[in-house]
Structure 1
Amino acid sequence: MTIAFIEQNDPAPDNKEPCGLSRLSVALLGFETADEEKLKRVLQMERPDGRKYMAVSRGDKIQGDILLVNYDNPGAREEKDLILASYPQAQVVAVSRGPLQDAPARHIRGMLSAARVLAVLDQVSVPKPIEPALAGLPTADDDSLSRQVDPQDRSTAESGLSETPTSPSLSGHAGYRALVVDDSAAIQKSLELNLATLPQIGAVEFADSGEAALAKAETAQYDLIFLDVMMPGIDGYETCTQLRKKAQYKKTPIIMVSGKTSPLDEVKGVMAGCTTYLTKPVQAEAFQKLGARVLAWLERQARP
């Protein structure tokens, strides 16, 4: 879709910072690069009521409060559906050349101008988002570690995620066994060094492909698995799917390790059965927080 923007002067900002207003993120789905850049500039304009927007796109990790979707692009509509399956609180605004049979309540049709785009976005009411401290983190429950927090289980999740892991002696063995699956020796070494800082980890093994990981999983039982997304042969998504089909790995924490952390990539990971994501390059602080939560969950499962 090619957007013919009508340039307009936006009201001059009054340089007053509004109170109680947060910046809403707008995910841009299915637009050509040039059009996306124009939309980003539009979203940076000052609003008379103080409302602020921040554009995010495929390469960004931040999830959009509002999904601005090019409905003339079938791939964008599919991506929108995948995102909504994981983030149902996101609000959809459709953009198209002509009429739509299944248009959402908010639809920008035909020629776009900065004023039209902002006028529609200003009408969107966005529900209060999930707290950043909970979004995308493992949740302890009776059955598995899940990426999403069920509102009914939030109190349980919050207490579990803030819990400090207890002594490994409670688990009944010398330490947990971790499998690191990545075709990069540097990433393998980075994760090995990070895992060495966790006293509950008793052994770390490695595989450089999905096929090798599945073979190892047949002959050994691992308590947690770090799984690269992009690998030669079968990728991390397929490897995760195959692991989840094995009875002994139905509940095992599987952490996807990847530089690809767009909403669509995360949804694909969830559909494959991964527990959560760890972004490359691995940062020590992020690893420690994630490690503490996963180990706390493992300890609770080991208790009689």
Structure 2
Amino acid sequence: MNSISTALPCASKKILISVFGLSEYELRLVRSVLSLTMASGRKHSYALFDASQAADPDIVILDPDNGQARAALQELIATRNIPEPATVFISNAGQAKPGKYHLLHPLVPTKMLALLDQVADELEKVLPAAFPASAAVVQKADMDKAAIVQPLVQKNLQAAAMQTAYRALIIDDSPTARIKIDLELRSMKIASDCAETGEQALQMLEKKNYDIIFLDIVMPGADGYEICKIIRRHPQTKRTPVVMLTSKSSPFDRIRGSLSGCSSYLTKPVEHLKFRAVVEKTLTAGDAIFTMDKNQDLAMGI
């Protein structure tokens, strides 16, 4: 089965994903991840394919060891008289990995999304050859957009440079929350790692430096307030910006967050514009503190 045999008719369209052979749990997980890609700022957005739709699926996720799943895919291809879509194979560890793109059971949301983006990027490369007229329209639209956006790009060169230089740590026991924040950070070109508990995060902080930490308050084990206090007591992380995440928004929660040493506060579910504003402000403030501390150390001969 070919890995790539179709082209996206338009780079900005919603990319349709058809799934064959996944469990109900994995299907729910896929649906949740795809719904989060509709957030503003992403290059690609995805949705589950519906057989009632006129449009055909662009990418297929298939368990090749499931005979019924393979038969269902072939029936879809025959019924709609379409080429085989780009296919991502998902199998168990230790099994043969057919095709160019593959994932392992159980699905890891961030790995799945990264692979879907890779496939979508490669599909875009064949766009000019397959749809020359559409490519010309897209090119003209991009030129028009560039004429409008260029002054803003020049104005924000410093901010863009700041964004590409940072790595974040997301500490949250909710997979959905971690994916949402990871997507927001990706749109800002900020890399991220994830931890499900505060204890796991502390181990990661011992091995790697982070420029900003997103910390959920309500977690199994130590809560966010306690973890934040530990982060602030450690010489290596005491000045790392910490953004508290909570579904609560009472003044008392904000006071507790401030007392524990957090730099800023975000209420879940995180709003796109609010998130970007808080991240940019927090990182800029962190840079100012780091520069001031470095100058003080130099003045003291440290």
TM-score, with length taken from structure 1: 0.42
Greater RCO (CA < 8 Å, at least 6 residues apart) = 1
More helix by share: 2
TM-score, with length taken from structure 2: 0.42
